[in-house]
Amino acid sequence: MAVTTTRIDVKVGSVYREAARTYRAHPVALLVPGAILFLAFGVPSALFGEATTDQGAGAVVAALVAQSLGALSSFLYYGYCEEVADQARSGEVSVRRALNETRPVVLKLAAVSVVVELLVGLGLVLFIVPGVLLAVRWGLVAPIASFEKVWPRRAMRRSAELVKGHFRLVLVTAVAMFLLEQVASALGEALGSEVVGDHIVGAVLGDAAGDLMVGPFAGLLIAIVYFRLSGRGEA
């Protein structure tokens, strides 16, 4: 007996519209926690990141700790934005609940993000096309790690399953947002260092501004693509 499968039809425009509606409806819930996390962890990470062995082992250890906390705070914020996207579908968004839901999975989110970024980066360096293909194939690993609570290997396999048959959708949403986020961060860093007298402070502030401009929307968009393809929360 033949087995039939139902192909999920997701329109790119509808995904962007839902993300835009969520962003407009909850700007405070999205931006304020990001700004607080940046001030608490991002600034120390950037300021202490210039330590060298000439300054002693203590300075190097402090720099490593500050940078690690800064990186974890970024993953926490990205997962938090995905949680906001999930809550917004029911109409109620709680900052405390979103943070509480994100904290237990932040290590899984960090692990899968680092592994995939390294592999995709390697693919881009060696051959552009394979790098792009890998970026699409694993474009949904972040929300999968957050909501399905899995480690890299399972998240990468699950992402490949969901993306199959939806290459264009993931390319112009998840991958496009990732690239836009990197560009916005780089531009913000360059402009900040030019505008502010202190190069390091200006670069840090500009980088944060770029991340806050694009990061929340990117998190929402990728989460919504995941919701649509996985059927999470659908009746």
pTM of the model: 0.83
72: which residues sit within 8 A by CB, 6+ positions away? Answer: 41, 106, 110
61: which residues sit within 8 A by CB, 6+ positions away? Answer: none
Mean pLDDT of all residues in 86-105: 91
Task: With a cut of 50, say whether residue 1 has pLDDT above it.
Answer: no
Distance, CA of 82 to CA of 68 (rounded, Å): 22
Query: Could you tell me where the DSSP H helices lie in 26-94?
Result: 27-37, 43-47, 57-88
pLDDT score recorded for residue 38: 78
Out of 67-81, 82-96, 110-124, give the one with best mean pLDDT: 82-96
pLDDT score recorded for residue 197: 63
Q: How many CB atoms lie within 10 A of CB 104?
A: 11
pLDDT in tens, 140-157: 999 999 999 999 999 999
Longest Cα–Cα distance of the chain, Å, equals 72
Task: With a cut of 80, say whether residue 50 has pLDDT above it.
Answer: no
pLDDT in tens, 173-198: 988 988 887 787 778 777 776 776 66
The pLDDT confidence band at residue 60, using thresholds 50, 70 and 90, is low
Higher per-residue confidence, 135 vs 41 = 135
Least confident of 62-71, 92-101, 142-151: 62-71
Distance, CA of 141 to CA of 32 (rounded, Å): 25
Task: With a cut of 50, say whether residue 4 has pLDDT above it.
Answer: no
Contact 20, 84 (CB under 8 A): no
Least confident of 40-49, 108-117, 183-192: 40-49
pLDDT in tens, 222-232: 999 999 999 88
Mean pLDDT of all residues in 72-79: 82
Contact 76, 116 (CB under 8 A): no
Mean pLDDT of all residues in 156-174: 95
* End-to-end Cα spacing for the chain: 28
pLDDT score recorded for residue 70: 67
Assigned token pair, 104: 């237990």
In one-letter notation, the amino acid at residue 95 is: V
Task: With a cut of 90, say whether residue 172 has pLDDT above it.
Answer: yes
